[in-house]
Chain A
């Protein structure tokens, strides 16, 4: 059962519906797709009490506006795009009720590339090959979202009380993180000459503006393979694989990439660093640090506990009262981190201080 919740009221730069991705069709040449920063994407769903792999809207670069068609709850996570509801600033990483007619605006991204709007019960679109994820080039799932598109949730509305909402102990600090991005050695790492291996450990790299959901080119000193031949017999690659094409610039495969590649696979981002990398904008700088597969797995386990297992708690966060004025029932709700949202009879009240 579809339940219309949001309508796009401007033309976003690049927004799509994404979920965990299209898994199990690699043997037929189908890319995985799915949310790029899965930490932010999954936390949005968890905070709303959704299935962790429910479909959400992924917004790249920001500047997206929506109108609420029917009451629902949303949670905006990922890069800070300074969201506002009816002009009132809205906290990221927090569940909010939105009501019919509410205007939701996201500005240009401040600190990262991708934001996620999770919707109560998840977004409903037709599944293609077991996934709602969009591959815009091969037109699997939906298409790039455009002005006028209507977003539906998977089930009709019940009233979603805000009296007890889920909150985070710790907001992922991807965006202030000064740590290097961690990589493991790829199958062709040892084709690199010694000078190039040193460059990898010492260089500050920069993300070029040649980037999409398929892949991203990295700028820095050019890397070289020992015998000058960086082509391989086409073989398996994954999101996070750093390939070395002929021109010597590293090329990072991302979530919409194919799973077979023909260039030397020199490095690979570990899972968590891949999510962090997917939040970098063109021009952003980063360093690399090589770790073992075992260390990558340790990091993943530790952070899974910190980010998901021990991170969410439930708190009473709203004041709701019903008054009777001359026999007329008035419902008052006050909520938000700073009690900034006041609703009378489910209609937002704008107060200019």
Chain B
């Protein structure tokens, strides 16, 4: 696998594998991140997490030389036996669409020239891929949105997006596990709790998982 080495800071380095969103590349990055997290102490690094296109590694420069770190991670990447961890299991999430639950369903319908019913039908029939978790604890960046539903972000972000909101923006859809600000168009809401800080892996959704929304 080809990659570029980018220094995000003097203690964070990025192994950047692509400049486009690609599910196959992301799946490999996710697999690598699991392996590196398994041997974190052995590698003498602080932490590691996947993004769409990159493997992000935090290190303590007082503990490990950047060159040594680069060499060790490069060796792992070059010799890695990718197993394609993607399972067929699909995590299902019940969603109340529209009305007070999804205030922007109307604007999505107008923008896409689809009826609200069709927006819901299309959104709840696709299988989505969890690329990464971020923005807020447990927030999944989901790929696989049907092209008919592509919509721009809101012109000005909402100050308060309620917890549980399901939104779409550009080619992405996602769920806000926490109340926060946000610029995605909200089309529904779920009661599913996506983050439990008492668990060792506190995010219910994890990179590499498959997900489907059910209309209720």
Interface residues of A, Cβ cutoff 8 Å to B: 23-31, 128-129, 137-138, 140, 184-187, 233-238, 240-241, 258-260, 265, 268-271, 293-294, 296-297, 300-301, 304
Q: Closest CB-CB distance, B18 to chain A, in whole Å?
A: 9
A sample of 10 more A-B contacts (CB under 8 A), given A268-B7, A293-B10, A293-B66, is: A23-B58, A27-B37, A28-B195, A29-B134, A29-B138, A30-B137, A187-B6, A235-B56, A238-B9, A259-B49
Complex contacts, B133 vs chain A, CB 8 Å = 27-29
Complex contacts, A137 vs chain B, CB 8 Å = 178, 180
Contact of A30 among B51, B56, B202 (CB under 8 A): B202
Which B3-39 residues have a C-beta within 8 angstroms of A? 6-12, 14, 16, 19-21, 33, 37
Q: Closest CB-CB distance, B30 to chain A, in whole Å?
A: 9
B54 within 8 A of A: yes
Contact A260–B10 (Cβ < 8 Å): no
Contact A186–B61 (Cβ < 8 Å): no
Complex contacts, B33 vs chain A, CB 8 Å = 27
Q: Please measure, in the bound complex, the distance between the C-alpha atom of A164 and the C-alpha atom of B202, giving whole angstroms.
A: 45
Q: Closest CB-CB distance, A326 to chain B, in whole Å?
A: 59
Complex contacts, B51 vs chain A, CB 8 Å = 234-236, 260
Complex contacts, B206 vs chain A, CB 8 Å = 27-28
Contact A26–B66 (Cβ < 8 Å): no
Mark interface residues in B33-66 (1 if CB within 8 Å of A CB, else 0): 1000100100000111111111010100110001
Given A23-B46, A29-B133, A128-B197, also A296-B52 (CB < 8 A): no
Contact A297–B10 (Cβ < 8 Å): yes
A-B pairs with beta carbons under 8 Å apart, 5 shown? A24-B37, A27-B50, A28-B202, A236-B14, A293-B10
Nearest A residue to B21 by beta-carbon distance? Answer: A233
Contact A23–B47 (Cβ < 8 Å): yes
Contact B10–A271 (Cβ < 8 Å): yes
Complex contacts, A129 vs chain B, CB 8 Å = 197, 202
Nearest A residue to B201 by beta-carbon distance? Answer: A28
Complex contacts, A235 vs chain B, CB 8 Å = 14, 16, 51-54, 56
Interface residues of B, Cβ cutoff 8 Å to A: 6-12, 14, 16, 19-21, 33, 37, 40, 46-54, 56, 58, 61-62, 66, 132-139, 141, 178, 180, 195, 197, 201-203, 206-207
Complex contacts, A293 vs chain B, CB 8 Å = 7, 10, 66
Q: Closest CB-CB distance, B160 to chain A, in whole Å?
A: 12
Complex contacts, B56 vs chain A, CB 8 Å = 26, 235-236, 259
Complex contacts, A23 vs chain B, CB 8 Å = 46-47, 58
Given A23-B47, A29-B203, A236-B54, also A268-B62 (CB < 8 A): no
Main secondary structure of the interface of A (DSSP, over half): mixed
Given A238-B58, A260-B132, A260-B134, also A25-B50 (CB < 8 A): no
User: Lowest 10 CB-CB distances: which A-B pairs, in order?
Assistant: A260-B134, A236-B56, A28-B203, A296-B10, A27-B49, A268-B9, A26-B49, A187-B6, A29-B133, A238-B12
Complex contacts, A185 vs chain B, CB 8 Å = 7
Contact A258–B62 (Cβ < 8 Å): no
Nearest A residue to B133 by beta-carbon distance? Answer: A29
Complex contacts, A25 vs chain B, CB 8 Å = 202
Complex contacts, A233 vs chain B, CB 8 Å = 19-21, 52-53
Q: Please measure, in the bound complex, the distance between the C-alpha atom of A271 and the C-alpha atom of B37, giving whole angstroms.
A: 24
Q: Please measure, in the bound complex, the distance between the C-alpha atom of A250 and the C-alpha atom of B35, giving whole angstroms.
A: 36
Q: Closest CB-CB distance, A250 to chain B, in whole Å?
A: 15
Contact A140–B137 (Cβ < 8 Å): yes
Q: Closest CB-CB distance, B154 to chain A, in whole Å?
A: 14
Q: Closest CB-CB distance, A234 to chain B, in whole Å?
A: 6
Complex contacts, B202 vs chain A, CB 8 Å = 25, 28, 30, 129
Q: Please measure, in the bound complex, the distance between the C-alpha atom of A110 and the C-alpha atom of B204, giving whole angstroms.
A: 45
Complex contacts, A265 vs chain B, CB 8 Å = 8
Q: Please measure, in the bound complex, the distance between the C-alpha atom of A138 and the C-alpha atom of B16, giving whole angstroms.
A: 29
Q: Please measure, in the bound complex, the distance between the C-alpha atom of A184 and the C-alpha atom of B10, giving whole angstroms.
A: 7
Q: Closest CB-CB distance, A251 to chain B, in whole Å?
A: 14
Nearest A residue to B198 by beta-carbon distance? Answer: A128
Complex contacts, A234 vs chain B, CB 8 Å = 51-52, 132, 134, 141
Q: Closest CB-CB distance, B55 to chain A, in whole Å?
A: 9
Q: Please measure, in the bound complex, the distance between the C-alpha atom of A286 and the C-alpha atom of B138, giving whole angstroms.
A: 36
Contact A300–B54 (Cβ < 8 Å): no
Q: Closest CB-CB distance, A22 to chain B, in whole Å?
A: 10
Complex contacts, A186 vs chain B, CB 8 Å = 8
Q: Closest CB-CB distance, B12 to chain A, in whole Å?
A: 4
Complex contacts, B141 vs chain A, CB 8 Å = 234, 260
Given A236-B49, A301-B62, also A259-B9 (CB < 8 A): no
Nearest A residue to B46 by beta-carbon distance? Answer: A23
